[in-house]
Chains A and B, each alone.
Chain A
Amino acid sequence: MKKIFISNFLFLISLTIIAHPGIGIVKDSKGNIYYTDLKQVWKIALDGAKTAIVTGVHSHELYIDEQDNLYGEHVWYNGESQNTWGYYVWCLKNNGELEKEIKPTEGFLSNYSFARDSLGNMYWVERFTTSRIMKKNKNGEITKLAEGKFGFIGWLTCTKNGSLYFTENNKLHRLSSDGKSDGYRMETLADKLGSKSTEFTLMGRNYDSYGIWTDAADNVYLAMIDSKKVIRIGADGKPQTILASNSLWTVCSGIFDDNGNMWVLENSITNEARARKISKEELTGNKVASSVIGKPHLLITIFTLFGIVTLFFVTKNILNNRKQKLLHTAI
């Protein structure tokens, strides 16, 4: 029994360390919500009914266009013998027909993205020593929007008007059109996201900001997967925690519906995914967990200190007993 407990415990730890949750959560023009659980894509209708609409796809990101055509990628590994990866891009048309927009291909998706604006321009990051942010317009022309020796760049998010948001280490940047021809300017909206974490975390990197989304007032929201919270960056650039969780679920991404409710895509410690609605009222009520139980670091530190003090006194007691015995023998 003990062995089962230990192996389950180690299995759970390994799952959380290697997890790479999806960020795909989108809404169509009617207000239906779609999200990925990395095995299938679910639709939550306006009446709350949930149905799997695309099955057998490992899709991290989703995109829905103005005509309600839903796009995603299926990526797979061909096993250690071949040690190759494959992908295809699927499209669920608004008439319910499922098509392969890009046929199954070996390797990884390149010069293509699910971060798109309302005109259908695609945006993606090329992460190298010198990283680049690229754009591909409807005609297939590829242009470089920004280039530099960035730190780690996380997921890229694109708004309908073509503003791009991304995190670089502990900073949040916005890349938007400068209004002159094709020029783009980059602004740092926040430089202290408060996301510095260890390399043992969910993503195995030092910063835990994950999915990014915006609301109607252009506030930026970031899912902090290791600290299990959602922060909002207002105009002053200061992060404000608007949602925190003590459970085994952590927010990975989100979206706002037409009524101002926030839908969050959450991932569990066992790699399950769910979409949860946070009502407008809950958000404005700032119901943020702040109890000591919500701070495991502090709690465990206190317990450790208590354990050390206990062990010290146990040792002192044992040594005193031995000393007494020795003295007693001598007498």
Chain B
Amino acid sequence: MLYILSFLLSWLSGMLVILITAFFSYDQFSIQDITSFAVFTFAGFLILFLLIYLFLLKAINKKIASNKQFIYFPLIFSLLANLPVYFIIWKNTPGLYGNAEATLFTLSFLTSGIVFGLFWAWKNKILSHAKRV
């Protein structure tokens, strides 16, 4: 359940950043735009989540001390785990989309990584405190 929640929360946070940034970047942001960004980010983040995030989480979950997780988890997921995505975005610009769209995609995945990292750091903090007690 927590995996699904962390996925949805991270993806939605990324979408929210796109939606808010678009208020300042574009004169209009239509249903087609929102649908396209939603489909691309959802599919991309799902693949990333299943192929990288879960394995990386398993690998680092117990290796990083609980008090340092709030810094290291967001950094690792937003920068290291997202590297393939950043590469794909860079590779397909301007072929599939323009610079403005590429920036929004990057911001979205960056936010998703940060939220995912914070989510698991927060979860570990609450439960490890209970376990210690």
Instruction: Assess whether B51 is interfacial by the CB under 8 Å rule.
Output: no
A200 contacts which of B2, B9, B27, B32 (Cβ < 8 Å)? B32
Q: Which of A227, A304, A314, A320 contacts B19 (CB 8 A)?
A: A304
* CB–CB B16/A308 < 8 A: yes
Residues of B within 8 A of A307 (CB): 12
Given contacts A227-B27, A318-B5, A327-B133, contact A301 B20 (CB under 8 A): yes
Main SS of the interface on chain A?
A: helix
Q: How large is the interface on B (under 10, 10 to 19, 20 to 34, 35 or more residues)?
A: 35 or more
Residue of A17, A304, A322 touching B15 (CB-CB under 8 A): A304
Interface pick from A136-144, A180-188, A189-197, A270-278: A189-197
Name the 10 nearest CB pairs between A and B, nearest first: A200-B36, A227-B28, A326-B130, A323-B130, A301-B19, A194-B27, A297-B29, A196-B27, A226-B30, A311-B9
The interface of chain B, by Cβ under 8 A from chain A, is 1-2, 5-6, 8-9, 12-13, 15-16, 19-20, 22-23, 25-37, 39, 97-98, 100-101, 119, 122-123, 126-127, 129-131, 133
Given A198-B98, A301-B20; 9 other pairs, CB 8 A cutoff? A194-B27, A198-B22, A198-B36, A304-B12, A308-B9, A315-B9, A319-B122, A319-B126, A330-B133
What are 25 A-B interface contacts by the 8 Å CB criterion? Answer: A13-B35, A13-B36, A195-B28, A196-B25, A197-B27, A198-B29, A198-B101, A199-B98, A199-B101, A200-B32, A200-B37, A200-B97, A201-B30, A227-B27, A227-B30, A297-B22, A311-B9, A311-B12, A315-B5, A315-B9, A315-B123, A318-B2, A319-B123, A323-B130, A326-B131
